[in-house]
Structure 1
Amino acid sequence: MKVSIIGSGYVGSVSAACFAELGHEVICIDIDEKKVEMINSGRAPIWEEGLDDLLEKYSQKTLIATSDYDYAVQNSDASFICVGTPSGEDGSIDLSIVKAASASLGKAIAKKDHYHVVVVKSTVVPETTEKVVLPIVEEHSGKKAGRDFGIVMNPEFLREGKAVYDFMHPDKIVVGAIDERSGFVISELYRGLDCEITHTNPRTAEMIKYVNNSFLATKISFSNEIGNICKQLGIDTYEVMDAVGTDFRIERSFLNSGAGFGGSCFPKDVKAIIGKANEIGYKPQLLESVVGVNDRQPLKMVELLQGKLGELKNKRIAVLGLAFKNDTDDIRESRSIPVIAELLRQEADIAAYDPMAEENMRKIFPDITYCEYSSEALEEAEGCLIMTEWVEFGKLDKEFELMTKKVVIDGRKMIEPEKLSTDIDYEGICW
């Protein structure tokens, strides 16, 4: 089949490359000419494991990029909206980019003689596809949904850093269509994958995505709350969760205590579903607590550091890990951000290191010291905060000898102090 993808971020570029891998012809649409140029030269506009290889393999063959909506729509059977849906100041979802993409699609569909399917892959709150996207496309195309064009909500369930793998090895594919024809067209795109497709309506598909992410976020905040209690009682929270996770109804994943969750999905999606609930007159107390626990959790890192070092003013503190998780350069909602902000408020001297995310973090904190290696950050530091699960941090040992005071606060359970060749004053955030 022939598909067009609007937006070349994580979801758009990965979807484009993977659809090409499945044998489809793909046209990427982006208003950013630099991204268009990168894709056409076989380079990924974002870092994602395996993405460069796929783009190099298919670029200018079965995958091209353009900023021309008319060309893309005329030469495809379906268009996927994969644009950003950031949070507004009150946490509610900002649909301005989705609306703009819908309008542009509608204008292009107006010039097309054949049936076309519009697919929302961006994460949007329930009713958005039917009550926002559909009427906008109808208005600008002059055509009727369900007759002249189709509408489908097809959420993504991709982990950053492992998105290509997740796309090609899904545990679920959800197709929420307004009619059988639309659903059939999009289902055919996934024929090459070994996964049963869940067929439903658009608003249910939208809700599945939010419930999926909100539940995972809830497991993390629940684990952090339990971890905080266990720490006060001298109990190993990881031993507790290892046992609890053997229950098939609970399962072990996402039960690790730590500094909290970040990224482009969990924080934004939980806040968005809270906003939608408030809109319909319901107060989601559990979800509000999930956000509250996550907001407070990283600041415990600084509190523990203060407990050992006292006043932090003018003290060199190594912050290891800037990305919201390992294997990505994404810093969106990274737990390092509130930690660095608090350290700056207390006038600490920050030496930061991350193997991939330095460039992105510089845009937020341009005036702190960025280091090329973890050892450089640790040199003459009095304290160290481990914020991201990079494998290399678990291998640190003699590097701690470079510190003037060997105080290490671990936010991700990366260090096994009893195995180190040097004595450090180690403490975990929840253990």
Structure 2
Amino acid sequence: MLLVFSVLAACSNANTSNPPASNAGGSEEGQGSAKKDVKLTFFNTSAEVNTVFEELFKSYHELNPNVTIELIPTPIGGAQLEKFQSLLASNSPATIANLDAGTILQFKDKFLDLEADKAKYEALTKPGAIDGALLDGKFLGIPWTAQGYGLLYNKRVVEEAIGGTFDPASIKTRDDLAALFAKIEAAGTAPVMLHGADWSLGAHYLGLTYSLQSESVDSNRAFVEELKNGNVKLSENPQFTGLMDTFDLLIKYNARKKDPLVADYNKDSADFANGNAAFYFMGDWTWAVIGGLEGRDQEFGIIPVPVSNNASDYGNAQVAYSEPKLLAIDNSGSTPEQQEAAKAFLEWLVTSEKGQTAIVSEMGLSMPYKEVAVQGSNIISEAVTQYVDNGNAMNIGVINYLPQDYWAKTGASMQKYLVGKIDRQGLVDEIEAYWKSYAGK
């Protein structure tokens, strides 16, 4: 299910001139494409859309007969990183890799520095998109999709419970949320669905702790280092304690309170979509499950997770937002011709109508680009985009710098807390012990 958390990315070009932002939906032919036959390989960790990528490769080959792109598929699950490492070890790296940002950072010496293309992509993307993709200050991967998460809501259920129109901006504090939950429960519906999987609890919920400290990713990284060194007491950290106070509220009103660790993602998503819970702590990626359900409700939205009773506190008005996967170009075994052809393909992917249609309509994802000629069907993603466009997005880029096991280890502790096996202090002790185990690393 970790794959649900991450889902996709893309782009770049060999031509040194900067095309205007209005290039989206323009020329279908890859600009600056290779003049002689070039074969590229594409390592894809978004396994659920393998066939969509393969069709894109065919379309691009029709436009550029001298460029052939071969998919290197990966299984859904944990074997993806091992396969990527094996390609490096065998001196046969993929020309293009669709990877989690943290993986690109881990192997940063193996990828092409795209600094020369940075200004071009800053012009093409929404404000902050490229800054959010930087890894140790370097532009190593091109963003092609973006995702957000928070408290999704089923509009019909909420409005029937309150007897009127629901204004998501009315929930500014934890007390606002508590009052709304009480009304929904009184109306006979479960107020919230809390998915009990470790990735949801450890990465998505508890993971907010590290992003809530500051709007600066570098400052948040410094906070994590202080955690490792034992210089932070979470029990005295207002962001953590506020987040956990809200978690207690979610536990109280959880639709799965009788069996919170079942963690059936498809069932939880379907029950929310069918009106069996008013809210759902999850992200816009759940549209892949609920979008095609027959008989589901039709209107959904998202609000941030309120973390305090001071409406102006950072996080109360911001939806968690990230570019979960980036497209990077190999610099360890690829030829200059392959690298230039890869740049041309990636730019075509994110700016052409064909590429945008595949990403937005067929994959059901949103793009952090200014000019997108395709209207998507993902209602929740569109709601996230409104927060982004209004400047109310929380950059959770600090997660790119966290250990690979942080979500599983701390997620297990959150599961214990969820079912009452440990109290708040016990949770603090386990989380702090985890981070201290990484001291000096």
Give yes or no for TM over 0.5.
Answer: no
Which one has a bigger Cα radius of gyration? 1
* Greater RCO (Cα-Cα under 8 Å, separation 6 or more): 2
For normalisation by structure 2, the TM-score amounts to 0.26
For normalisation by structure 1, the TM-score amounts to 0.26
